[in-house]
Amino acid sequence: MLVLALETSCDETAVAVVRGEGDARPVVCAESISSQIKLHADYGGVVPELAAREHLKALPWMIERTLGEAKVSIGDITAVAATRGPGLKGCLLVGCGFAKAIALAHGIPVLGVNHIEGHVLAPLMDNPGLDFPYLALVVSGGHTEILAVRGVGRYELINRTSDDAAGEAFDKSANLLGLEYPGGPRLAALADKYTSSDFVLPRVMRNDPGISFSGLKTAIALLIAKQGEGAVSDEEVRGRLAFAIQDAIVTALVDKLTAAMKSTGIRHVAITGGVSANRALRARVRAIPRAEVYLPGDQHCMDNAGMIGYVGLERFRRGERSDLRADVQSRWPVETMRLE
């Protein structure tokens, strides 16, 4: 069976064709991503209306190209899957609208996929040795959570941020340092040039049960303000600030992941989401005693349609189909997902 998958939850337009044979794990036949970074750079962040318009323009040619690369036609497709949530509502509506139109036109089922479930299962796509159960640390611009993954549709929430996500903490700190959009990756690249820093930030949440970055963000803002113009104009000062910021964010994540391993007894750990590409985070998680660490391939760390097709095909195999009248969901906790 073949699933055509569409991902339009934020500012990445992505299309994939995913194949499933028997009980084997789904395989991505072809995939493509169109980034909107340049479009939103002038605004310092994603503009939802502009993002939705770009999805509308990009999807037709991307679908045609991806089908061609997979060497299949739309008539060969068994079902179409699209991100139904969580995400920016206007963007989700574009992708789901396309999926429903294709399903109606060709008489095939449609599946609305949870974006976070895509990230949670993405490590399975590139790691044949990974199996259930495992802990998934989902870290991206909009999400930070730890889940015990016991099977498709079997997710136990261990921890979730009560305010900003780790990616937002990176991005907002980068903005304070005068780094251009997208700031988070730029801050990480600058921080990676250093191995230490004289600047000290609090180690937050060590003894608290939840995850929160609000207090750390305040501490970062105060530390940067204390340095005055040097925080932006002096490259050495800015670099050592970047190191301290990245170290504080990563430490908070590693502390919570270590606690989750202890409470669940699960040693297999998968890091997923856009921030999973962060080299400092990868190194620190790999250094956790007894942790067996798995990462998605580089193309599957960011928002992508391969993971949406993977989830869609797994759920299609289990008899799921979505109602064409189903609306998108800007908020959709992944632990509420069940096999219907």
Residues 176 and 30 in one domain: no
pLDDT digits (tens, 9 = 90+) for 245-293: 999 999 999 999 999 999 999 999 999 999 999 999 999 999 999 999 9
CATH number, domain of 259, equals: 3.30.420.40
Q: Could you report the per-residue pLDDT of 34-86, keeping only the tens digit for each?
A: 999 999 998 999 999 999 999 999 999 999 999 999 999 999 999 999 999 99
Q: What pLDDT is stored for residue 283 in this prediction? A: 97
Query: Do residues 142 and 287 both lie within one domain?
Result: yes
DSSP letter string, 289-300: TT-EEE---GGG
Q: How far is CA 200 from CA 204, 222, 247, 248, 300, in A?
A: 12, 12, 10, 9, 34
Please say if the pLDDT value at position 340 is more than 70. no
pLDDT of residue 339: 59
Domain total for the chain? 2
What are phi and psi for residue 181, nearest 5 degrees? -70, 140
Distance (Å, whole) CA 15 – CA 300:
12
Q: Residue 204: which pLDDT band, with cuts at 50, 70 and 90?
A: confident
pTM, full prediction: 0.96
* One domain, residues 236 and 308: no
Q: Which domain holds residue 153?
A: 131-295
Of 310 and 210, more confident: 310
> Collapsing DSSP states into helix, strand and coil, what is residue 12?
strand
User: Are 178 and 100 contained in the same domain?
Assistant: no
- Cβ atoms of residues 215 and 204 within 8 Å: yes
Average pLDDT of the chain is: 95
What b-and-e string marks burial along 173-187, b requiring 16 or more CB atoms within 10 Å of the CB? bbbbbebebbbbbbb
Digit-coded pLDDT (tens) for 102-118: 999 999 999 999 999 99
d(CA 4, CA 312): 9
